[in-house]
Structure 1
Amino acid sequence: MAWYDRPIMRSEGVGTAVCAVGALVPGYLLVSPAQHESSVQALTRPTAVAFLSFLADVHATVERHFGPTTIFEHGSCRSEERRRSACISHSHVHLVPGRYALEQLGLPVRRFETLTGIVDIPPTERNQGYLMYREPDGMVCYAPDAGISQFFRRHIAKMLGRPDEWDYALFPDWANLRATQEALGSGSAPQQFVRARETDELLSA
Structure 2
Amino acid sequence: MNNLNNCRFCDILSGVYTYREIDQPIISNKSYVAIASIGAFVEGWTLIVPKDHKFSMKNFYNDIEFNDIFIKVSSRLFEKYGRIIAFEHGANCENSITSCGTNHAHIHLVPFKTSLLPDLLKSGLFWDKIKASEIPDKIGHNEYLFYTDLDKDINWINTVGYLHILDKPKSQFFRRLIASKLNCLDKFDYKQFPYIDTALLTRNRFIGVK
Specify if TM > 0.5: yes
Provide TM-score, normalisation by structure 1. Answer: 0.77
Cα distance, 1:86 vs structure 2: 4.4
Write the letter of the residue equivalent to 2:22: Y
Q: Is the 8 A contact 2:61 2:132 kept in 1?
A: no
Backbone CA RMSD of aligned residues: 2.5
Match of 1:115 in 2: 132
1:1-205 map, 5 Å: 1=17, 2-11=20-29, 13-43=30-60, 45=62, 48-78=63-93, 80=94, 83-98=97-112, 99-105=114-120, 106=123, 107-112=125-130, 114-119=131-136, 121=137, 125-126=139-140, 128-137=142-151, 139-145=160-166, 147-185=169-207
Q: Is the 8 A contact 1:49 1:116 kept in 2?
A: no
Write the letter of the residue equivalent to 1:175: D
**What secondary structure sits across from 2:80 in the alignment?**
helix
Write the letter of the residue equivalent to 2:149: E
Cα distance, 1:32 vs structure 2: 0.5
**What secondary structure sits across from 1:176 in the alignment?**
helix
- Using the TM superposition, name which of 26-35 and 103-112 deviates more: 103-112
Equivalences, count: 180
**What secondary structure sits across from 1:167 in the alignment?**
coil
Q: Is the 8 A contact 1:87 1:150 kept in 2?
A: no
Write the letter of the residue equivalent to 2:36: C
Cα distance, 1:172 vs structure 2: 1.2
Q: Is the 8 A contact 1:20 1:177 kept in 2?
A: yes
Cα distance, 1:67 vs structure 2: 0.9
Assess, with a 3 A threshold, how the Cα gap between structure 1 residues 83 and 179 changes in structure 2: closer, same or farther: closer
Cα distance, 1:4 vs structure 2: 1.1
CA offset digits 1:99-145 (Å, max 9, x no partner): 34244133311212x432324x26xx535111011024483111113
Write the letter of the residue equivalent to 1:96: V
Provide TM-score, normalisation by structure 2. Answer: 0.75
Q: Structure 1: which 5+ residue stretches go unaligned?
A: 189-205
Cα distance, 1:61 vs structure 2: 1.3
1-side partners of 2:83 and 2:198: how far apart?
A: 17
Q: Is the 8 A contact 1:52 1:115 kept in 2?
A: no
Identity %: 28
Q: Structure 2: which 5+ residue stretches go unaligned?
A: 1-16, 152-158
Write the letter of the residue equivalent to 2:24: R
**What secondary structure sits across from 1:17 in the alignment?**
strand
1-side partners of 2:89 and 2:205: how far apart?
A: 26
